[in-house]
Each structure stands twice: as structure tokens, then as C-alpha cells.
Amino acid sequence: MIADVNTAPKRIAPDHKIVVEACDISLESTLKSDDLLLLVTTEMPYGKYKGHRIADLPGNYLTWFSRQGLPKGEIGRLIALMHEIDHNGLGDLLKPLRANDARRAYQL
């Protein structure tokens, strides 16, 4: 049974975001405005793909991470986001950001 968002129990979080508890949806963990840019600029700090940008990690590696357990912190959050983007075939979302990042690097 799917809970109706309008009738699900709600609580007000300290920062005044509404969290729908019955549907296990939290608006507190929504996408931040610069997350996509971080995917094309942040490098993997360790492992087999150390030095590769998170947006360039292969899908099977992202899937392996999601099965084995994601690292804690920002890197784990970005890997999880990239896994969702890759798994749902949304990689084209990053193309304009990659182009802008390449132009910025050229200007330096």
C-alpha cells in the first residue's frame, strides 16, 4: 500500500523542513545545488580508481560499492549519487558540467 503524501504523518524538523515519515522520504537528504558539479571535479582519493573523477568511475565499480557498503562522508554520498545517475542512464546530465569544467581548466 502506498501512503498518500497529503495524509501521511508529518513532523516539523528543527530546520522547518517537512519530513514524511510514513513514506520513508526525507527532504533533508535532497540533492544540493553543487552536487553535480562535485561529481565532475572531485577525484577518488583511494582504491583502484584513485585520481579518477567520480563521474568517470565505471558502473560496475559503483555497483560494487553500493553492494559492499559505501564509504562514510562526502565521498560515499557522491558515489551513491553517481551510482543512481549511472544506473538510471542519466549520465548526459553531466555533459554540460564537463564542458564547463574543461573550459575552466583551459583558462587556468
Question: H-type helices in 1-108, by residue range?
Answer: 35-41, 59-68, 74-87, 95-107
pTM: 0.67
In a shared domain, residues 38 and 71:
yes
**pLDDT tens profile 5-36:** 444 444 444 444 433 343 343 434 567 878 99
In a shared domain, residues 81 and 56:
yes
In a shared domain, residues 36 and 25:
no
Q: How many domains does the chain have?
A: 2
The closest alpha carbon to 49, from 65, 40, 61, 34, belongs to 61
pLDDT band of 102, cuts 50, 70, 90: low
What range does the domain containing 7 cover? 1-30
**pLDDT tens profile 54-82:** 999 999 999 999 999 999 999 999 999 99
In a shared domain, residues 23 and 64:
no
In a shared domain, residues 14 and 41:
no
